[in-house]
Homo-oligomer: A and B are copies of this chain.
Amino acid sequence: MDKIFRVNMTDLTTKVEAVPAGWAGLGGRGLTSTIVAAEVPPTCHPLSAQNVLCFAPGLLTGTAAANSGRLSAGAKSPLTGGIKESNAGGTAAQMLAKLGIKALIIEGAPKDGTWYNLAVGVNGVVISEEKELLGLGNFAVIDAVEARLGKKTGVLTIGIAGELKMTAANISVKDPDSKIRSHGRGGLGAVMGSKQIKFISIDGEGAPGVKIADPEKFKAAAKVFAKALLDHPVSGEGLPTYGTNVLVNILNEAGGLPTKNFTVGQFEGHDKISGETMHDTIAARGGKVKHGCHAGCIIQCSQVYNDKDGKYITSGFEYETIWGLGADCCIDNLDDIARADSLMDDIGIDSIETAVMFGVAMEAGILPWGDSKGLLRILSEEIGKGTPLGRIMGGGAGSVGKAYGVTRVPVVKNQGIPAYDPRSVKGIGITYATSTMGADHTSGYTIATNILNVGGYVDPLKKEGQVELSRNLQIATAAVDSTGMCIFVAFPALDIPECLPALIDMINARFGIALTGDDVTNLGKHILKLERQFNIEAGFSNVHDRLPDFFKTEPVAPHNAVWDFTDAEIDEFWNF
């Protein structure tokens, strides 16, 4: 029987609890959002003892289902002030699931300045004072924890950004190569920092593993599902070959690659930072073109990126990071971007928020456009050392905008707008505007249908069909985020008829239940409405479901498109 592991950081107690009946059918985002809605006062300060940080593996995590190893983290976000779920790969999700941990819930906060670590094992959680690793970067923490507890230990850790409670701080997860994946968005690292937990180790010893109610049915469905992933051109070919960075040239071609803090939609240096260039560079330098962020991943969109001497720089080197530090900051030096990616992993700060932030910082004149060396210096010497400038920047794009009086700040609900211009890819603009998470491409990835012709085609430059597209994808994504599945399963799920039924069959076989497609849709709707209700109680209204004014007033080349949705049209999103 799965359990809830609960930690109270105010009185330093831990409990192992039965799973409440209402939570039994939930996992991942569905569960973390349910916990946050149930246990966090919506108006509380996100860094106070009243906030709760929780982790939940998905419904299929720990099984043999392909790409099911994602971990959801949830809390009230110190970046947006609303509910937050951020999911990541790495080894933690499967270890927690196999230990029978439905969710790890961390409440309260220490009353003095003492820092702690948590050790999660089959019998519960042990809280220990932590001194030695304070102030260290994430890579050093992972090395040290492995030295203490063994190579197999799972690790969730925060860097200096989380320790300093920067609102762009992320939570890092050890991956199969002892490198880093991130619960990137929304400042959850600051919440972990506010609870004064430097790291959480996970000991998989004695884990009972995940029981499958109907193993035969599961196996059959898993096979169909895996085949669909491999058969689809995006998940089976594009992503494994070029990684997510396959998108640089595609978005540049579409005129939707935000460049120079969203002033134009194409970047002159796109070729130098593209997935194609990256692929060839990796191959030439003896890196790895394909790489998985968790065991059982068959898409392998990650990679190992080495420098010209063949020395490791980074992995999990994503399109959004490369876009943000590249096109949006007018930097065409992929090696420097890779170094920045590694620094951000070590500092423990969201690479999307930080990239968008640098675009605003360049607009503010803090550093020149294209100054990759200056950017690297600021990362290590300012943000990484928590100087006042580092604190401003560690608060993300909105923070820099406020401190420097910049009006062109691409954020929604104070979260930086990622790598797809909403004027020239209008569906994603609806997602940015309406997502309960703040601007977040993953919460309803219309790029699939607007740009990649997956799940049909909706013209990215026209308004027609965008609200419906975003709504359908946001509902589906909320459900998929509850399964532990990687979001990229959406590509075959949208195009290959057997894929989604196979996914549902796996869930049914795992739990011995009989969910229908409608049940899954209803779960997605329920999650979105639950999250929105939390946000309303936290002080959000339709007024916050809007893009910044400059998208309405500044046409973006090459299409000279503007954001032309009326408020009423955007608000139709919630008609379900």
Contacts and interface: CB of A to CB of B under 8 A. Distances in A.
A170 interface: no
Interface stretch (A59-67, A150-158, A389-397): A389-397
Nearest to A402: B395
A164 B405 contact: yes
Interface residues of A, number: 37
Interface stretch (A93-101, A213-221, A276-284, A536-544): A536-544
Contacts of A387: 388
Give the most central of A402, A403, A405, A546: most B CB within 10 Å: A405
A186 to B, nearest CB: 14
A537 B548 contact: no
Contacts of A205: none
Interface in A12-70: 42-45, 47-48, 50
A348 interface: no
Contacts of A522: none
Given A405-B194, A543-B539, A549-B44, A391 B391 contact: no
A10 interface: no
Interface in A502-547: 537-541, 543-544, 546
Nearest to A540: B539
Interface in A193-244: 193-194
Contact of A391 (B167, B194, B403, B546): B403
A388 B367 CA distance: 13
Interface in A372-398: 387-389, 391-392, 395
A453 interface: no
Contacts of A50: 549
A233 B164 CA distance: 51
A399 interface: yes
A402 B403 contact: no
B549 A543 contact: no
Contacts of A193: 405
A546 B407 contact: no
A549 B403 contact: no
B389 A45 contact: no
A395 B392 CA distance: 11
A565 interface: no
A499 interface: no
A404 interface: yes
A537 B542 CA distance: 9
Nearest to A109: B407
A291 B182 CA distance: 61
Nearest to A49: B407
Contacts of A441: none
Nearest to A45: B407
B405 A47 contact: yes
A118 interface: no
Contacts of A403: 388, 391-392, 395, 399
A165 interface: yes
Contact of A407 (B48, B164, B391, B409): B48
A370 to B, nearest CB: 21
Nearest to A405: B165
A43 B407 contact: no
A340 interface: no
A556 interface: no
A454 interface: no
A398 to B, nearest CB: 10
A190 interface: yes
A65 B45 CA distance: 47
A47 B409 CA distance: 12
Contact of A405 (B190, B409, B540): B190
Given A395-B403, A537-B543, 12 more contacts: A43-B549, A44-B549, A45-B409, A45-B548, A48-B549, A165-B404, A165-B405, A166-B405, A391-B403, A539-B540, A539-B541, A539-B543
26 contacts: A43-B543, A43-B549, A44-B549, A45-B409, A45-B548, A45-B549, A47-B407, A164-B405, A166-B405, A167-B402, A194-B405, A194-B407, A387-B388, A388-B388, A388-B391, A388-B403, A391-B392, A391-B403, A391-B404, A392-B392, A395-B402, A399-B402, A537-B543, A538-B543, A539-B541, A539-B544
Closest 7 CB pairs of A and B: A165-B405, A388-B389, A539-B543, A388-B388, A391-B403, A45-B407, A48-B407
